[in-house]
Amino acid sequence: MFNHPVIMMIPVLVFLALAVWLMPKIFRFVKRGFQALRDRMRAVKPDQPASTNPPALPSNAAALTALVNCHFASFADSNVCEREIDAADSR
């Protein structure tokens, strides 16, 4: 059995102090990584700030339906989708 608990407490306290010191740095690093990934997915250039405004949605239900259908259709051509949304928007 371990007869010197003080000797074991020293590495435990050093480990806890190191963990407390490193945790904010690790979380900041992970946050920057996810932010860079999100910016890359949104095609934001590094010198361009990310937009905080969401894209504007069409005002009428037909245009919104066309937008949703085009978004979820895996075979959809972007030009066809734009024409559908424009046609629904002009109604």
Q: Would you list the domain boundaries of the chain?
A: 1-48, 55-91
Q: Name the stretches of the chain with pLDDT < 50.
A: none
SS3 labels along 47-69: CCCCCCCCCCCCCCHHHHHHHHH
Q: What local confidence, expressed as pLDDT, does residue 72 receive?
A: 62
Instruction: Judge if pTM exceeds 0.85.
Output: no
Q: What local confidence, expressed as pLDDT, does residue 48 receive?
A: 66
